[in-house]
Amino acid sequence: MRRGPLSLLLCLLLLTPLAQAEEPAAASTPLSLSAGSQITELQQRLKESERQRETLSQQLHNADSERESAQLTRLRQENQRLKLTLKELQAGAAPKLITDQQQWFLIGGAVALFAALCGIFASGGHRKRRQWLN
């Protein structure tokens, strides 16, 4: 081989990577413009999404507040109703002085006392000593 074409081939091989490196740089200008427009478009969409999220979260908070307010009002009304019912029951029911067990004890004592009195009046009121002996 000749030296001329060999040196020319060598120069071409050395310049080829530089030529390839320049091509993407030249092609990157339209790509970077479209990427820049995509970035700004995405940033605008992000801002719009954030604004919508804030609006929706505010609406959700308002709905929760209204629901809690309605529930609180309902619970307060029920509490008032229960307090009135309790007062009525306490006013209507007299406190018990004695328990059921004490009541039965008193009834039994009254029956025994009545039986003793009946026995005294039935004997005529006079006792003979001999009655006790017989």
CA distance 67 to 88: 32
Please give the pLDDT value at position 91.
82
pLDDT in tens, 74-89: 999 999 999 999 998 8
Question: Which of residues 18 and 101 earns the better pLDDT score?
Answer: 101
Instruction: Output the six-digit token pair for 43.
Output: 């940033």
Distances (CA, A) of 113 to 16, 84, 116, 123, 130: 135, 46, 5, 16, 25
Please give the pLDDT value at position 121.
83
3-state secondary structure at position 134: coil
Element (H, E) at 85: helix 3-92
Q: Where are the domains of the chain?
A: 32-94, 96-127
Q: Is the pTM of this model over 0.75?
A: no
CA distance 15 to 23: 13
Instruction: Output the six-digit token pair for 79.
Output: 């509490």
Please give the pLDDT value at position 35.
85
Distances (CA, A) of 60 to 3, 4, 47: 82, 81, 20
Tally of CA atoms within 13 A in the half-sphere of 80 that contains its CB: 6
CA distance 61 to 79: 26
Please give the pLDDT value at position 26.
47
pLDDT in tens, 16-72: 776 665 545 444 455 577 888 899 999 999 999 999 999 999 999 888 888 888 899
Long-range contacts of 54-59 (CB under 8 A, 24+ apart): none
